[in-house]
Amino acid sequence: MKFGHFDDVNREYVITTPRTPYPWINYLGTQGFFSLISNTAGGYCFYKDARLRRITRYRYNNVPIDMGGRYFYINDNGTIWNPGWSPVKTELDSYECRHGMGYTIITGKKNNLKAEVTFFVPQNYDGEVQQVVLTNEDSSPKTFKFWSFAEWCLWDAQDDCTNFQRNFSTGRVEIKDSTIYHKTEYRDRRNHFAFYTVNDKIDGYDTDRDTFIGLYNGFHNPQAVLDGKCGNSLADGWSPIASHYKEITLAAGESKTLVFVLGYVEMPQDKKFESDGKTINKEKALAMIDKFNSPEKVAEGMKELRAYWDKLLGILNVNTPEDKVNRMVNIWNQYQCMVTFNLSRSASYFESGIGRGMGFRDSNQDILGFVHQIPDRARERLIDIASTQLPDGGCYHQYQPLTKKGNADIGGDFSDDPLWMILSVSAYIKETGDWSILDAKVPYDNDESKAKTMLDHLTVSFYHIVKNLGPHGLPLAMRADWNDCINLSCFSDTPGESFQTYTNPKFKKEGGYSKVAESVFVAALFTYVGPNFVGILNHLGKKGEAKKAQAEIDKMKKVMMASAWDGNWFMRAYDANGQKMGSKECEEGQIFIEPQGFAIMSDIDEDAAKKTLASIDERLNTQHGLVLNNPAFSKYYIQYGEISTYPGGYKENAGIFTHNNAWIICAAAYAGQGDQAFKYYSEIAPAFTEETSDLHKTEPYVYGQMIGGKDAGSDIGQTGKNFGQGKNSWLTGTAAWNMVAISQYILGIMPDFDGLKVDPSIPSQWDGFTATRKFRGATYRITIKNPNHVCKGVKSLVVDGKEIDGCVVPYVEGKIEVEVVVTLG
């Protein structure tokens, strides 16, 4: 069942009922001010840091779901409703929500009164603009009452939902004209405040929550709205809110437009107050208010926003025989990659914004998805990340976006972390040709005095793996490899111990983790990523070093065949007891997805690659994607850790973890199995799950981290229950990796050190496709012809009318247009 449809021309998803199977959200903002907004206007906003600068309040895991947002209430002669249906939930005569690129438009209609609300965060602006257009579609005049509503968060979102003994006595506001200012703690140690304004005279306001809502009422029946008035209340502690009140009369056919702005302002210490030393100095706020105080200015702001996205999405554009692929590649997957760039894993409807900093591995992988859109900011991000690395190549697993420092509470020793940096820096160079990044001086552990070149960072990353091998010569697994829930040094039997940070005391003297437990995944990642490092060294003319590194890669491949090949697939690990994990010899968890894709793409052994792909198809594939492992764990394996704490079919225990599905899509495409690759792609790509949105639950326009696997429900004897149900949408490495899988491996348009490689691996039934790719200053117009209906194999490559060998279009400086025709066969 569908709950809306794609509007590809406007780059929108149009939701046609407020009762989606889960709140379907969008993100507003691309720089400092961010908002989350659901299809019923739920959500919240924050400035830069979702925990420390939370501007409006939101209650996660609330009953009913998705309470708290920016709400407009209408009381039309006793009929009370919201344009976005919630929270009053009066049945509307019509409802529509359009989630677009950085904006959302919600339109509701009731009794011939139409309310269309446009929400967006303009470029270079620290505020959310909300334009409300009210139209009387009746044949006679209408008089009705209208309220806005936002609830302030007292800045630190964690403190705000725990420290009530203090917070109920600190809330403060100020009101001037039609603007309500939120200034809790501004008098003392904060130099920032927020405001909520409207570009019109108001008939009253409320800033005290209990006056507006009523202590025993809810968002769905605020007392003020029921009574058709407002209290002109001044908050003094408790819970400050901001609500404007207006009585409106519209002639038949008449429209009225109101522009609201919810803004955030930082002031220099010496300019915080007016001369009385108390009243907020509103200079900056008034300038902001002036910027968006008319529909004309709003239209201008929307135009700028559209231009911004036109530019970002104009870099890669494809036209394939499959609409769903086009809308994923050209619009939604790229959009989601930018959201993961901006938000990392901080704030979604599944991430509360108070939990995680920026992950080392996550941020590096995210780069793969957005480097073509904003290479400059990718460079900046790479340097930020690398600056947290330790001199021996180890990494803090997370860093804080505000301080950009490594997070000592979580620490390091996640065995895969260093390798992702080699991959992301390589991707940056391949995209831009900017080799100078390798010479950039980058601190270790944020200490400028320890700065060395980026090339040095890559070198210590590579050798960090080589220097930390276990008994078989495979990389040590440490606290976790990519899979946060395989914790081979944990042996945790006490509730509350974090599987990621707790290591069993028995490994203390060994340095904090087992020197026996080894990760086949990290081995495969090493042999996949390593050639990039070798390529870089060769390019720099460091032949000796390149040879040395290559020898390590070759050695690792041998070790993998000797000690990690299980006969039909690659094993997952050796545990701390030296026992095999992910082997046919195991009782449960015999085969794991993670090492397989990278092993296949490392050209270790052709026959092994074939067998592996066949095993994956047989053991892991389902109609909703590839499960992470099989069979699922049905009991707690203390030697494996968190993975076996999840009921079978969820998360890392045999859930469909979409992130690593992409690695198999890449691998199948790489191996020439374009039909197979496309099958796996279409099992999980959101546009393809649209028809089954009732089952899938989460947004059909973005990836979620996981989908219930075939074992979901097994724990309660109902195997298959929730199979296909999505969770954890939006902030996931899946976005970047599926962008790579579809654009670089299936469609085969892949930046390389020396030029743009074009080597598709497509469904054999396709006649071909066309694409436009901006790359290092030139526009490549690419035509792929597939007259013999093969999946893969470049028979001829013609560049600007001239046939050339191979499949890389060499980069030529100064060219601005390049015509590429590839014939497969």
Active-site residue list: 484
- Check: CB of residue 85 under 8 Å from CB of residue 18: yes
**Measured from the CB atom, is 258 or 736 closer to ligand GLC?**
736
Query: Helix, strand, or coil here: 314?
Result: coil
CB of 705 to ligand GLC, least distance (A): 5
Is residue 447 packed enough to be buried (19+ CB in 10 Å), middle (13-18) or exposed (0-12)? exposed
CB of 732 to ligand GLC, least distance (A): 6
- Check: CB of residue 527 under 8 Å from CB of residue 551: no
> Which tokens in the block code for residue 385?
């990340």
CB of 458 to ligand GLC, least distance (A): 21
CB of 352 to ligand GLC, least distance (A): 13
Query: Helix, strand, or coil here: 181?
Result: strand
**Measured from the CB atom, is 167 or 346 closer to ligand GLC?**
346
Q: Is 738 in the site for ligand GLC (CB under 6 A)?
A: no
Q: Is 595 in the site for ligand GLC (CB under 6 A)?
A: no
CB of 28 to ligand GLC, least distance (A): 23
Stretch that binds ligand GLC, among 130-138, 326-334, 476-484, 816-824 (CB under 6 A): 476-484
- Please give the biggest Cα pair distance in the chain: 86
Q: Is 479 in the site for ligand GLC (CB under 6 A)?
A: no
CB of 415 to ligand GLC, least distance (A): 12
661-720: which residues touch ligand GLC (CB under 6 A)? 705
What does the alpha-carbon distance between residue 571 and residue 583 come to, in Å, rounded to a whole number?
A: 5
The size of the interface with ligand GLC (CB under 6 A), counted in residues, is: 15
Q: What share of the chain is helix, strand, coil (3-state, %, to 5)?
A: 30, 30, 40
Q: Is 362 in the site for ligand GLC (CB under 6 A)?
A: yes
Among 337, 460, 485, 820, binds ligand GLC (CB under 6 A): 485
H or E segment at 330? none
**Measured from the CB atom, is 487 or 689 closer to ligand GLC?**
487
**Measured from the CB atom, is 340 or 459 closer to ligand GLC?**
340
**Measured from the CB atom, is 167 or 658 closer to ligand GLC?**
658
- The residue behind tokens 């892991």 is 620
* 308: number of Cβ within 10 Å: 15
What does the alpha-carbon distance between residue 229 and residue 247 come to, in Å, rounded to a whole number?
A: 9
Q: Is 363 in the site for ligand GLC (CB under 6 A)?
A: no
* 268: number of Cβ within 10 Å: 9
Q: Is 652 in the site for ligand GLC (CB under 6 A)?
A: yes
**Cα distances (Å, whole numbers) of residue 147 to 119, 219, 453, 517:** 16, 12, 57, 61
**Measured from the CB atom, is 552 or 642 closer to ligand GLC?**
642
Beta bridge partners of residue 28, listed in sequence order? 35
Stretch that binds ligand GLC, among 41-49, 479-487, 565-573, 578-586 (CB under 6 A): 479-487
What does the alpha-carbon distance between residue 778 and residue 783 come to, in Å, rounded to a whole number?
A: 16
CB of 58 to ligand GLC, least distance (A): 21
599-638: which residues touch ligand GLC (CB under 6 A)? none
**Measured from the CB atom, is 148 or 500 closer to ligand GLC?**
500
CB of 481 to ligand GLC, least distance (A): 8
Span between the terminal Cα atoms of the chain, in Å: 40
Residues constituting the chain: 825
Q: Is 346 in the site for ligand GLC (CB under 6 A)?
A: no
Assess whether the previous peptide bond of 418 is cis (omega < 30° from 0). Answer: no
Stretch that binds ligand GLC, among 89-97, 355-363, 385-393, 741-749 (CB under 6 A): 355-363
CB of 728 to ligand GLC, least distance (A): 8
- Check: CB of residue 667 under 8 Å from CB of residue 597: yes
What does the alpha-carbon distance between residue 354 and residue 346 come to, in Å, rounded to a whole number?
A: 7
> Which tokens in the block code for residue 25?
């959200």
CB of 600 to ligand GLC, least distance (A): 20
- Check: CB of residue 285 under 8 Å from CB of residue 649: no
- The residue behind tokens 């929270």 is 87
CB of 361 to ligand GLC, least distance (A): 5
CB of 729 to ligand GLC, least distance (A): 12
Among 118, 389, 483, 532, binds ligand GLC (CB under 6 A): 483
Among 651, 697, 727, 792, binds ligand GLC (CB under 6 A): 651
- Which residue's CB comes closest to ligand GLC? 484
Q: Is 500 in the site for ligand GLC (CB under 6 A)?
A: yes
Stretch that binds ligand GLC, among 15-23, 357-365, 669-677, 762-770 (CB under 6 A): 357-365
Stretch that binds ligand GLC, among 358-366, 536-544, 562-570, 806-814 (CB under 6 A): 358-366
**Measured from the CB atom, is 411 or 760 closer to ligand GLC?**
411
Among 73, 482, 513, 521, binds ligand GLC (CB under 6 A): 482
**Measured from the CB atom, is 282 or 651 closer to ligand GLC?**
651
Nearest partner of 561 among 516, 612, 514, 517, judged by Cα: 612
Draw the binding track, 718-737, toward ligand GLC (x: CB under 6 A; -: no contact).
--------------xx----
> Which tokens in the block code for residue 729?
């949408």
Q: Is 484 in the site for ligand GLC (CB under 6 A)?
A: yes
- Check: CB of residue 787 under 8 Å from CB of residue 747: no
Nearest partner of 346 among 589, 736, 52, 635, judged by Cα: 52
Among 151, 456, 642, 711, binds ligand GLC (CB under 6 A): 642
Stretch that binds ligand GLC, among 175-183, 254-262, 314-322, 354-362 (CB under 6 A): 354-362
**Measured from the CB atom, is 631 or 733 closer to ligand GLC?**
733
Distance of CA 435 to the CA centre of its chain: 28
646 Cβ partners below 8 Å, 6+ apart?
Answer: 485, 652, 653, 655
Q: Is 345 in the site for ligand GLC (CB under 6 A)?
A: yes
**Measured from the CB atom, is 359 or 647 closer to ligand GLC?**
359
Nearest partner of 136 among 117, 118, 107, 115, judged by Cα: 115
For CA atoms 378, 46, 129, 144, the dihedral sign is positive
What does the alpha-carbon distance between residue 54 and residue 139 come to, in Å, rounded to a whole number?
A: 44
**Measured from the CB atom, is 158 or 764 closer to ligand GLC?**
158
CB of 160 to ligand GLC, least distance (A): 22
Q: Which DSSP category does 631 fall into?
A: S
Q: Is 366 in the site for ligand GLC (CB under 6 A)?
A: no
**Order of strands across the sheet with 794-799?**
316-319, 768-775, 778-785, 817-824, 794-799, 802-804
* 811: number of Cβ within 10 Å: 18
* 162: number of Cβ within 10 Å: 12
Rg, C-alpha atoms of the chain = 28
Query: Helix, strand, or coil here: 125?
Result: coil
**Measured from the CB atom, is 245 or 703 closer to ligand GLC?**
703
DSSP for 43-92? --EEES-TTTTEEE--BTT-SSSSB-B-EEEEEETTEEE-TT-TTTTPPP
Residues of this chain that interact with ligand GLC (CB under 6 A) are: 345, 359, 361-362, 482-485, 500, 642, 651-652, 705, 732-733
